[in-house]
Chains A and B, each alone.
Chain A
Amino acid sequence: MYLITKNDVKKIAKALEEKYTLYGPYLDADFGQCFFDKVTSDTVNLNAPIPANPPKHVVFPHLETIMQYKYDKNARKADIAMVFDDTPKALFGLRSCDLTGLQCIDRFFLGQEFVDEVYRHHRSRMFIVANTCVVPFKQCFCVCTDSGPAAQEGYDLNLTDLGDSYLLEVGSPKGKAFIESFTFAPATQEHLKQKQKIVEKSITMFDDIATESKAWVSRVMNRVTTGFIKEEIWEYIGNQCIECGACSYVCPTCTCFNINDANTMSGDTVRLRTWDSCSYEGYSRMAGGHNPRKPIEDRRNKRFFCKLSYSQSKKYLRPGCVGCGRCAWVCPGDIGLPNVVTYIRREIHE
């Protein structure tokens, strides 16, 4: 635990930049919007609002080549090679919701019967600097999903803005080794108390600031798991959906993907992995046209089942929702996760 200045924070970013590709939140002047992507130590902005996109594209890119092969039709010979990306990457200024989302994806890709090798390589040399949210944003509800406003685990370093200085916590041996090259002033228990106060204050501010979203997740998990939800509720939700897939795009824990083989001009074929969304009609359509999940409400049902049921939580070891509120932010049909939770709760009360 150290007490560092704002200038020191920049120094850490600079040191990381030398060894890692640096990813972090930055303000895009053209859009007036904050995004999470490649940054330099100069452009990274820890005070920027919650980024519009989660950091999942760093470990699970929108479009990536996972395999490359060349098939010589005349010689009848095929050379297959997997394509892995294990460049060292650093996530700087990750908010607790996104960090929890990243842990969910970790457990899903690495923790089950089959380990996703492509993902494992992405994740293998990663450095994570988390950032405590001292103020919530209007769509946030991480207090409802137990994923914020301060990160509990999973980081190498954690920063908390104490006002005129930063509290730096070390969360892993990797983080400890990294910090050894610096001479920072150690922090006292007093500072840790100060941080706790800030976190508590942040939580109380949810009532006034984060007015747009509230999701009583635990209340509906039982209902979603057992399926005791009226068909009309799903139909209503389905009718609101315009199948744009934006919710899956901005969700920190959505990891459905599609695989396609594409032939290139050089004669090689690349196997591409792209993001997919369960809201699309073609998602479950089979060759020949039969689609077991054709009605839109069936497909919507699937997404919320994935986020809110016990059985799906087994793979994440927590609810699939991390309370970032992005789905509510982007949804043109007003059926972000908090609203769906409200609809289901309303039905329970009736």
Chain B
Amino acid sequence: MSEQKIVTVPEIATIEEIKDEIVDVKTFYLRFDNKEIDGNFKFKSGQFIMCTVFGAGEFAVSLPPSPENDRFHITVRRIGKVTNALHDLEVGDKVGIRGPFGNGFPFEEIKGKNVIYVAGGIGLIPLRSSIVHVLQHRQDFGRILLMYGSRSPQDLMYQYMLEEWQKIEGFETFITVDNGTPEWKGNVGIITTLFDKVEIPVDNTVAFVCGPPVMFNAVIKELMQRGIKDDMIISTLERHMKCGVGKCQHCAIGRTLVCTDGPVYTYRQIKTLGEQI
């Protein structure tokens, strides 16, 4: 374990910038007040942190930045008591950070493989870290695809990044929305409709899937039908968490705890854990 891991007392961080992403989703760029930690906060892509909003509570949130050369930030949807309080904060306000916790994406094991990202809605946030990392190490991977769907064009996450990504050569991006608007020129239809239009690689391929449960199950079905094996489908799970270090047991699925054994699982693991997504 690295000594930078903050387990008990949250480290104070300042909100340096707030960016509106889509309705009810904001990105908070953070900097640790403690200079020693600021430069040394090392995490792996796919890990998560516990973020304290003073006076409201603590919530678990995935880390969207790449571990290398990326600004430290979290992207949060306004959904519960604590995230509501976070959204009410302004630039200069303080939050508390504990972490990083969890296992992270298995980049070593997937080297040399084709990579498919399938994301739905704000499911793109936890995958962003992995996408940026893979693009930074383009030479280590085969084909890279992104299939991304959301409810409407306004609900597309990271629109500025999507535009950039579409320009990157060798990064195949496919975007669809459930309900189009007159201005929308792209695909219309749920994410599984993309599978009919895209020729996806099957051999030597790993798929990252993240999104709401309905979308997740439908995508898994499509991927399996095309012959991608269950241990080559990787997802990151979301659970109710309180401690982040395997003590409160709220995130237990079967014999594993999402906070210490997860949050990144293969679909083979998820299947045997026997609980719904």
Contact = CB atoms under 8 A, between A and B. Distances in A.
B161 interface: no
A347 interface: no
A29 interface: no
A78 B246 contact: no
B213 A114 contact: no
Nearest to A298: B275
Contacts of A113: 1, 245-246, 260
Contact of A286 (B10, B12, B55, B238): B238
Interface in B16-61: 52, 54-59
Interface string B252-277: 11110000100000000000001111
A71 B96 CA distance: 11
A305 interface: yes
Interface string B84-99: 0000000011101000
B56 A261 contact: yes
Contact of A227 (B58, B243, B252, B274): B274
> How many B residues are at the interface, by size bracket?
35 or more
B150 interface: no
B247 interface: yes
Interface stretch (A150-158, A238-246, A288-296): A288-296
A127 interface: no
Contacts, number: 103
B92 A312 contact: no
B79 A288 contact: yes
Most A-side CB within 10 Å, residue of B1, B93, B239, B252: B252
B55 A261 contact: yes
B202 interface: no
A288 B82 CA distance: 12
A19 interface: no
Contacts of A288: 79-80
Contacts of A265: none
A114 B54 contact: no
Contacts of B277: 292
A76 B275 contact: no
Contacts of A80: 9-10, 12, 96
Interface in A282-310: 283-288, 290, 292-293, 298, 302, 305-306, 309
Interface stretch (A50-58, A251-259, A321-329): A251-259
Nearest to A256: B249
B240 A269 contact: no
B239 A286 contact: yes
Interface in B204-219: 213
Contacts of B10: 80
Most A-side CB within 10 Å, residue of B80, B83, B250: B250
A181 interface: no
A63 interface: no
Given A78-B94, A284-B251, A288-B80, 14 more contacts: A73-B93, A76-B92, A113-B1, A113-B246, A116-B247, A227-B274, A256-B248, A259-B57, A259-B58, A259-B248, A283-B240, A285-B240, A292-B239, A312-B255
24 contacts: A71-B55, A76-B92, A76-B93, A78-B94, A80-B9, A82-B8, A82-B9, A108-B247, A114-B7, A114-B260, A117-B8, A256-B250, A257-B243, A269-B54, A276-B248, A284-B251, A286-B238, A288-B80, A292-B239, A292-B253, A292-B276, A302-B252, A305-B254, A311-B255
Interface of B: 1, 7-10, 12, 14, 52, 54-59, 79-83, 92-94, 96, 213, 238-240, 242-243, 245-255, 260, 274-277
The 4 A-B pairs at the shortest CB distance, nearest first, are namely A287-B80, A71-B54, A311-B255, A114-B245
